[in-house]
């Protein structure tokens, strides 16, 4: 079957690594291709990892590291990077061997299905040989390598699913998670802002000059190049494509289902969950009794408020709001969508217990008209028709750049494109020219920087944007004049000294606090998490500042005497946006105090501010307060976390059981 694909579409090369292959990248971050060579970087259970393959992966890792951190790599960092890359490759090879041992196999038909179903190779929802050929031509791998990569990734996924699908979450795990995740902590804190101390600092011109002379390498221009480039965008091609009104209307009819919104139903329910020690049959009997009372005329909402075990809907008479298909348990939805308006049914069993369901209201599905979606369809159809042209012209651009290796003018002239210029393109990139600058930076400033006057290879910035660049000139870093950086230096020195004053003030405040704190000393308690329900973060923060300024507690007066601001006791959640994140993290990092006692911690903020946090009490989250829909989401989240943990443990175990040998000097840089 694979050979039939090749015969049908000619000699293929691979441009796109399908999402399926991300499995191997998630766990090892390496290129899973094998290249045969005479030397090896390691042996895993007797199987060699070719040295050439290891070096290629190391170079990719090194490039990524430099793009991310922009620092020089010393020998220790290089050795550590090499060790990390080799260890990931060893782990991958060991797992691939385990896949073979366990008999996981992917058939030719399955490999073909993955290739044909990938949306990147489709036009109008159908596999397009031309689009596929154009995508593949951007990279140049062989079809055999691609097919093998697909097969191995499918087999790895089968093993992964075998491990992950066996995971489960116990009720105790769920309860413990909610108790921790929804935990509230009552804290108070004094904040000593650097900005509050800036007006106490003066920096003279002589100090600025002295700092400038003492740090000659700190104020340099960035390495840059003068750059010419020719770019090709699919969107530019699409704009030039003519589409008739009849074609648009025909396309609308083909896509019409997309523009229909499904029916939604509003429902109310009463949830009866088995109580501790109660059988499921007894819980059902209680639900049937309530159903009978409803049918005898008792008020549904009143019974829901009194008896429902869903705290999220009980207070509103059991109202669940609007429900579309696929959003709740299938048994619940099947019953709801079988009811007549106003009808009540049940009991219906789900994982949460027994439900009595009432169908309250219906919202019919809607369909967007051709006129409403015309512009959207026009863009889509143009883009589809532009694909083949774009890939053909992108390939042509790459070929011409190679043939006309020292001139972009001749390349642009033959393609009808313009040569563009950037006077100073810095090592940090230029998002105004290239939103994704990293590939250009890598070519221009990488380990083998592009020679002056020579065209680059085709650089792919996105799946619809390619470019060829040419370096006209290079500008090495040079020292910026004092006049240009004086204000920058002055601001740096002022903040450094203000930070020192803030630190001293925080220390003096901490020393002045009574050894034994009391609620009267700290001030009245509020609930920061309540304000987040009705205010945005900025408004709530302003409100909190106002509360702090009007607080007349002993702690507030003491903080003000030392140049700080006191924020009286407030109850916070882990996700609280109304309190600085460093303070939230510090508060939840403290051990719970004994009853009537307080725990303190000094905090250094990211912006240089200082704080002193006082923890008064800890309140665990209440699992019974979690709404029905949120409960299901939390359980799924825990299930995924458990599954990932078990898979990670399995991978680690496979690696530890492997017989691994590494030749001397493999970790040394060359």
| Max Cα-Cα span within the chain | 91
Token representation of residue 161: 């699913």
Please give the pLDDT value at position 256. 80
Q: Please state, in angstroms and rounded to a whole number, the distance separating the CA atoms of residues 626 and 634.
A: 9
Phi and psi at 536, nearest 5°, equal: -80, 170
Please give the pLDDT value at position 636. 86
Please give the pLDDT value at position 644. 86
Asked whether the CA dihedral 417, 422, 428, 431 is positive or negative, the reply is negative
Please give the pLDDT value at position 133. 66
pLDDT band at 426 (very low <50, low <70, confident <90, very high): very high
Mean pLDDT of the chain: 84
DSSP state of 197: G
Please give the pLDDT value at position 71. 64
Reference 11, options 102, 124, 132; nearest CA is 132
pLDDT digits (tens, 9 = 90+) for 534-586: 334 344 444 444 444 456 899 999 999 999 999 989 999 999 999 999 999 99
pLDDT band at 34 (very low <50, low <70, confident <90, very high): very low
Question: Under a CB-based contact definition with an 8 Å cutoff, are residues 605 and 614 in contact?
Answer: no
Preceding amide of 265 cis, omega within 30: no
Q: What is the mean pLDDT of residues 125-148?
A: 67
Residues 6+ apart with CB under 8 A from 143: 2, 6, 11, 12, 13, 14
Q: Please state, in angstroms and rounded to a whole number, the distance separating the CA atoms of residues 242 and 615.
A: 67
Beta bridge pairs of residue 278:
none
Please give the pLDDT value at position 15. 31
Do strands 565-572 and 526-527 pair parallel, antiparallel, or not at all (unpaired)? parallel
Orientation angle between helical segments 482-512 and 554-561, nearest 10 degrees = 140
pLDDT band at 335 (very low <50, low <70, confident <90, very high): very high
SS3 state at 567: strand
Q: What is the mean pLDDT of residues 354-369?
A: 88
User: Could you give the C-alpha distances from 484 to 201, 218, 225, in angstroms and in order?
Assistant: 22, 13, 21
Question: Under a CB-based contact definition with an 8 Å cutoff, are residues 548 and 565 in contact?
Answer: yes
Helix (H) or strand (E) holding 601: strand 599-604
Question: Under a CB-based contact definition with an 8 Å cutoff, are residues 357 and 329 in contact?
Answer: no
pLDDT band at 526 (very low <50, low <70, confident <90, very high): low
Question: Under a CB-based contact definition with an 8 Å cutoff, are residues 269 and 318 in contact?
Answer: yes
Please give the pLDDT value at position 593. 94
pLDDT digits (tens, 9 = 90+) for 4-18: 434 443 333 333 333
Q: Is the per-residue pLDDT at 145 higher than 90?
A: no
SS3 state at 126: strand
C-alpha distance across the termini of the chain, in Å:
44
Reference 604, options 194, 188, 197; nearest CA is 194
Stretch among 393-397, 443-447, 516-520, 570-574 having the lowest mean pLDDT: 443-447
Most confident of 330-339, 404-413, 432-441, 627-636: 404-413
Q: Please state, in angstroms and rounded to a whole number, the distance separating the CA atoms of residues 519 and 514.
A: 12
Residues in the chain: 670
Helix (H) or strand (E) holding 47: strand 47-50
Q: Is the per-residue pLDDT at 31 higher than 90?
A: no
Stretch among 164-173, 262-271, 456-465, 592-601 having the lowest mean pLDDT: 164-173
pLDDT digits (tens, 9 = 90+) for 44-53: 999 999 888 8
Please give the pLDDT value at position 131. 66
pLDDT digits (tens, 9 = 90+) for 642-667: 888 888 888 889 999 999 999 988 88
The CATH code for residues 264-363 is 3.10.50.40
SS3 state at 382: helix
Q: Where are the domains of the chain?
A: 2-166, 183-204+483-619, 224-245+371-475, 264-363
pLDDT digits (tens, 9 = 90+) for 186-237: 999 999 999 999 999 999 999 999 999 999 999 999 999 999 999 999 888 8
User: Could you give the C-alpha distances from 294 to 281, 353, 631, in angstroms and in order?
Assistant: 20, 19, 27
Q: Please state, in angstroms and rounded to a whole number, the distance separating the CA atoms of residues 290 and 270.
A: 9
Q: Please state, in angstroms and rounded to a whole number, the distance separating the CA atoms of residues 498 and 534.
A: 36
Q: Please state, in angstroms and rounded to a whole number, the distance separating the CA atoms of residues 228 and 435.
A: 17
What is the percentage of the chain residues whose pLDDT exceeds 70? 87
Most confident of 113-117, 178-182, 349-353, 375-379: 178-182
The CATH code for residues 2-166 is 1.10.4030
Q: Could you count the other beta carbons within 10 Å of the beta carbon of residue 158?
A: 16
pLDDT band at 150 (very low <50, low <70, confident <90, very high): confident
Reference 487, options 289, 211, 125; nearest CA is 211
Supply the pTM of this predicted model.
Answer: 0.56
Q: What is the mean pLDDT of residues 117-132?
A: 73
């Amino acid at each position: 079957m694979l050979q039939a694909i090749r015969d049908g579409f000619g000699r293929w090369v691979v441009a796109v690594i399908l999402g399926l292959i991300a499995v191997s990248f998630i766990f090892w971050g390496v290129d899973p291709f094998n290249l045969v060579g005479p030397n090896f970087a390691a042996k895993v259970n007797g199987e060699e990892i070719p040295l050439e393959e290891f070096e290629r992966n190391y170079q990719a890792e090194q490039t990524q590291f430099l793009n991310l951190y922009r620092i020089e790599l010393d020998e220790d960092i290089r050795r550590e990077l090499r060790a990390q890359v080799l260890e990931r490759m060893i782990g991958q090879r060991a797992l691939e061997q385990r896949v073979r041992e366990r008999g996981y196999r992917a058939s030719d038909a399955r490999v073909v299905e993955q290739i044909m179903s990938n949306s990147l190779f489709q036009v109008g929802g159908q596999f397009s040989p031309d689009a596929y050929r154009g995508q593949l031509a951007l990279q140049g791998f062989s079809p055999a390598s691609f097919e093998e990569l697909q097969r191995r990734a499918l087999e790895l996924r089968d093993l992964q699913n075998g491990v992950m699908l066996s995971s489960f979450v116990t009720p105790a795990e769920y309860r413990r998670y909610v108790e921790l995740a929804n935990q509230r902590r009552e804290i108070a804190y004094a904040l000593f802002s650097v900005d509050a101390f800036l007006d106490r600092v003066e920096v003279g011109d002589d100090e600025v000059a002295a700092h400038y002379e003492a740090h000659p390498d700190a104020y340099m221009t960035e390495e840059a190049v003068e750059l010419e480039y020719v770019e090709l965008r699919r969107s530019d091609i699409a704009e030039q494509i003519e589409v008739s009104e009849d074609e648009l209307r025909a396309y609308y009819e083909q896509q019409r289902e997309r523009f229909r919104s499904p029916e939604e139903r509003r429902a109310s329910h009463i949830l009866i969950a088995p109580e501790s020690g109660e059988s499921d049959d007894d819980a059902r009997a209680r639900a049937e009794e309530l159903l009978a009372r409803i049918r005898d005329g008792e008020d549904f909402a009143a019974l829901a408020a009194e008896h429902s075990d869903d705290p999220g809907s009980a207070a509103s008479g059991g109202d669940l709001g609007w429900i579309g298909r696929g959003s709740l348990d299938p048994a619940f939805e099947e019953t709801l969508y079988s009811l007549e308006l106003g009808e009540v049914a049940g009991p219906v069993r789900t994982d949460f217990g027994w439900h009595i369901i009432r169908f309250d209201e219906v919202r019919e599905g809607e369909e967007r008209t051709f006129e409403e979606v015309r512009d959207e369809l026009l863009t889509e159809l143009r883009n589809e028709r532009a694909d083949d042209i774009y890939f053909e012209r992108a390939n042509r651009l790459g070929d011409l750049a190679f043939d006309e290796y020292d001139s972009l003018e001749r390349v642009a002239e033959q393609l009808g494109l313009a040569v563009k210029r950037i006077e100073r393109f810095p090592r940090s990139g230029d998002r105004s020219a290239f939103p994704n600058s990293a590939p250009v930076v890598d070519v221009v400033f990488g380990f083998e920087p592009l020679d002056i006057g020579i065209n680059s290879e085709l650089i792919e910035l996105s799946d619809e944007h390619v470019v060829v660049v040419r370096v006209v000139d290079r500008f090495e870093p040079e020292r910026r004049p004092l006049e240009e950086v004086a204000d920058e230096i002055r601001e740096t020195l002022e903040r450094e000294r203000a930070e020192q004053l803030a630190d001293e003030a925080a220390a003096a405040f901490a020393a002045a606090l009574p050894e034994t704190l009391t609620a009267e000393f700290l001030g009245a308690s509020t609930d920061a998490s309540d304000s987040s329900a009705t205010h945005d973060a900025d408004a709530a923060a302003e409100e909190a500042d106002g509360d702090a300024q009007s607080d007349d507690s002993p702690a507030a007066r003491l903080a003000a005497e030392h140049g700080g601001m006191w924020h009286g006791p407030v109850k916070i959640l882990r996700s609280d946006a109304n309190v600085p994140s460093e303070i939230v993290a510090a508060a939840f990092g403290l051990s719970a105090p004994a009853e009537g006692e307080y725990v303190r911690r000094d905090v250094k903020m990211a912006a240089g501010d200082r704080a002193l946090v006082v923890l008064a009490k800890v309140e665990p989250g209440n699992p019974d307060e979690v709404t029905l829909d949120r409960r299901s989401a939390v359980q799924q989240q825990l299930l995924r976390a458990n599954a990932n943990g078990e898979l990670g443990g399995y991978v680690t175990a496979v690696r530890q059981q492997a017989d691994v040998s590494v030749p001397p000097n493999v970790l040394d840089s060359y």
